[in-house]
A and B are shown apart, each in its own frame.
Chain A
Amino acid sequence: MTISIWRYSHLTLAISSTLFIVLASITGIILAFEPISNKLNPYDIVNIDNVSVAETIDVLQKNYDEVITLDVDENGFVATNVFLENGENATFYINPKTGEKIGDILEKKPIFEFATSLHRSLFLKSTGRFIIGFVSFLLFLIAITGIILIAKRQGGFSKFFTKVIKENFNQYYHIVVGKYALIPILIITITGVYLSLEKFSLLPKDKSKHIEILSEAKNTDFNIFKTTKLSEVEKIEFPFSTDEEDYYYIKLADKEIAVHQITGQIISEKKDSFFTLGSYYSLLLHTGKGSFLWSLILLLACFAILFFIFSGFAMTLKRTQKKSKIKNKFTKDEAEFIILFGSETGSTLSFANSFYKALIAAKKTAFITDLNNFTSYKKAKNIIVFTATYGEGDAPINATKFIKKINTTNQHQSINFSVIAFGSKEYKHYCKFGMQVHASLLLQEKFKAVLPIHKVNNQSFIEFEQWVLAWSSLHNLDLNISKEDIKIPKEKEQIFTVLNKTKNNIDDTFLIELKPSRKTKFKSGDLLSITPKDETRNRLYSVAKINKTILLSVKRHEFGFCSNFLNNIDINDKLVASIQPNKNFHFPKKTQEVILIANGTGLAPFLGMMNTKKSKTKIHLFWGGRTKESLDIYKKQIDLSLKNKTLTSFYTAFSQAQKNKVYIQDVILSKPELIANTLKNGNHIMICGSLNMYKGVLKALNKITKEQLNSTVDKFIENNQIKSDCY
């Protein structure tokens, strides 16, 4: 429920202000170059941190007939307004050490003048200023709702900067860019609003006044000029006349002081009010004046805003397109099959819709609607729920009221139901909402489950088909689901050529080296998906990348369709497969030490990792096999890595080599310090191989972490220090 409010406001705010935000961002991009181009002028030849006010005043009064003002701008350029010998009045930049003119005052370039006007008032004067100020406020709200949405999605503010799960380009970068651009955008909008409030006199009145200071001895003799550096000064007004009542006025960062022109005493000072300082810093932060780096950040933030608008609308468009596809042929009270869906991004809907179409094609009366529209259905015999899960196990946007409605809605007849839950195992709360729906329906007397809940990971069509098969055979139906109705990213299949293949070792295991036919980006740890001919189900192999070729290790099983298919293949044969990225099992980027643990064919991805890793990372390899001979096929690669020092140490366990079976977890237990130190220092452990080995290894690791680090192994799995790919 709450999520929809935030998203709805995020979107509504964005739609209502897009045009102005685009305009302000584009002009903002242009304006970001103004401080940058000003800063590039060479008028800061002297470091004004080292020049005292007394020094500059002295040289100015020597060089010129009369000095009126001295200004120090954000760039550290010092300008003065003086009377020259010929009685002419002039303003120019000076060298504060010598008082000499070094350049004319910079004029605002016409392009910046134009952009400024457009940026702050759209050439509409006060009306425009109001609009821009208001839009700035809206953008502020958009940023705030954005922050809340990110926090909800990531599972709390504490996880704000944790990794974002990539679903598609627009969604992913909308969030990733959002996480980092939000801070500058918040600053831009707050300062923008502040400046607008100031323009419209909505800030409290500045009541600061000059307050007399009782003269102290040490304040005399222009001490203040000698001790104040030019860099602390914003402006100095020289005495208007020689009249003793006319003082020097020195504007410093937070106050103005009046100094007697003869005695050099500080006469009075005026402290800036809080709001004056606010205006000053708002202007600096909003314009980037005087700071190269901040201007650059502002520039990037403007680009980020434009990107948000683009990607945001692209997402919205996609979502509405997916939603508008529902067209019911029958009414809710005519239909025998009721399909209810809960979809956040619309992909679950495409599955539900394909199922609906298949039912209609099979001449059945079906009705499809949002879970939130749940009500009573007169002729319904079957209800099929398709639902995704959002964020921390929450309901998707159109399913938020469902569980409440189940309890309040009375059905006339008893109804069979089946729940199919969509989710991704990358999330902690995999399919959680689907399970809640299933459990809530089970509690109802009139509902009867025909199948246990069925989960579909990452929109897998195969997993979906398995359910369709089970469900339709229950109802004696022959359903044809069209794959084209379901918009899921297609795997990029291509042809691979077999470059090399080892002989089978003692365990019937062999290595195959494959060369992709196209230029393909992949890393060790990615998966090669092979679907043998006449088979619908694919097999996944964790691969190593060695010199742009793919290396995989296969164990032949007597009745294994795919392993036999690969076993029978010869050098130079071709096969069709696709590479699936498996980001969670890539070699960690920032790490000093990595422990790799594998058994059997699980060694394959590590062979590639050891081959390419950065020179400074220490790698320790633990491998478990049946016999010493089992290692033979891998020996060449491992010896090479040891020789190149890309592999630091290598430990083995051969379970069948001696009477008492020794497994790899037993070897791990003998190295508690290595394990504990690696985890303690934030380094990584990677595990690849059989599930049995994985369980054993985790047990061993848990023992070590409990004893040495006083913590369970789960903590390290959770924060991704322990990665695994087991099967």
Chain B
Amino acid sequence: MKLKKILLLIPAFLLVITALFSFKKYTETSPYKCMIQMRNYTGEGAYVVISLLNPKGEYEETLYVQGDDDEWYFDITEWWNFQGKKRADIDAITGATISGGERSISVIRIDNDKLDKGYKIRFETAVEDQDYHKDDVEFELTSENVKSKIEGKGFIRYVRMMPQ
């Protein structure tokens, strides 16, 4: 009856394996202050989405969303392709939109082990009935860049990052 024993062991073994893997790998995250300074455009407040991209250029995680009216989210096309399918809970990382000429400071958390590994941070911007900028600001996640000032191409004039 060895076979029977083995057969019994298999589910037990699988259970242990799943149990082991279901413990999410514990990762340290650090907070970063992030200031976004907008250009002097007119019109509605801009929606800004800050995302983490993996080395392949795919969306990995949404770090921050400025703009809490979700009826406009699908205007941020690229990101919506990711978020629209995944529907991650972003309530905790949502803030109000910011208008032309304004500044906002928000705090984002980034996994420590993603630093200097070829990951990228992307700032996407969209304004109702105006343009959409897929990569208004985009930079590599390096220890150098997270304490620097990066110029924007669209609605963002510049972004400043600062480790806390």
Contact = CB atoms under 8 A, between A and B. Distances in A.
Contacts of A69: 105
Interface string A615-646: 00000000000000000000000000000000
A664 B141 CA distance: 103
A170 B71 CA distance: 42
13 contacts: A68-B105, A81-B105, A87-B31, A87-B164, A125-B71, A126-B129, A199-B44, A200-B129, A206-B42, A206-B101, A207-B40, A237-B103, A240-B105
Interface residues of B, number: 21
Nearest to A89: B107
B164 A66 contact: yes
A327 interface: no
Contacts of B35: 240
B114 interface: no
B40 A126 contact: no
B42 A203 contact: yes
Interface of B: 30-31, 33, 35, 40, 42-44, 69, 71-72, 100-101, 103, 105, 107, 128-129, 160, 162, 164
A249 interface: yes
A157 interface: no
Interface in A246-271: 249
Contact of B128 (A126, A205, A206, A240): A126
Contacts of A117: 69, 71
A249 B104 CA distance: 11
A126 B129 CA distance: 7
Given A68-B107, A117-B71, A240 B40 contact: no
Name the 4 nearest CB pairs between A and B, nearest first: A89-B107, A201-B43, A201-B42, A68-B105
A210 to B, nearest CB: 10
A199 B43 contact: yes
A205 B164 contact: no
Contacts of A237: 103, 105
Contacts of A200: 43, 129
Interface of A: 66, 68-69, 81, 83, 87-89, 117, 123, 125-126, 199-201, 203, 205-207, 237, 240-241, 249
Contacts of B103: 237, 249
Contacts of B107: 68, 81, 83, 89
A249 B102 CA distance: 11
A498 B98 CA distance: 80
B42 A205 contact: yes
Contacts of B30: 87
Contacts of A205: 40, 42
Contacts of A201: 42-43
A83 B30 CA distance: 12
A117 B160 CA distance: 33
Contacts of B69: 117
A126 B31 CA distance: 37
Contacts of A206: 40, 42, 100-101
A240 B33 contact: yes
Contact of A240 (B71, B100, B129, B160): B160
A245 to B, nearest CB: 11
A126 B40 CA distance: 22
Nearest to A202: B42
A453 to B, nearest CB: 65
A68 B42 contact: no
Contacts of B33: 68, 240
Question: Which interface residue of B100, B107, B128, B160 has the most chain A CB atoms within 10 A?
Answer: B107
A69 B160 CA distance: 16
A155 to B, nearest CB: 46
Given A89-B31, A240-B105, A125 B42 contact: no
Contacts of A240: 33, 35, 105, 160, 162
B109 to A, nearest CB: 8
Nearest to B91: A107
A117 B71 CA distance: 10
Nearest to A203: B42
A123 B31 contact: no
A313 B118 CA distance: 69
Contacts of B44: 199
A203 B44 CA distance: 12
Nearest to B107: A89
B71 A123 contact: yes
A200 B43 CA distance: 6
Contacts of A89: 31, 107
A68 B155 CA distance: 23
A205 B72 CA distance: 24
Nearest to B103: A237
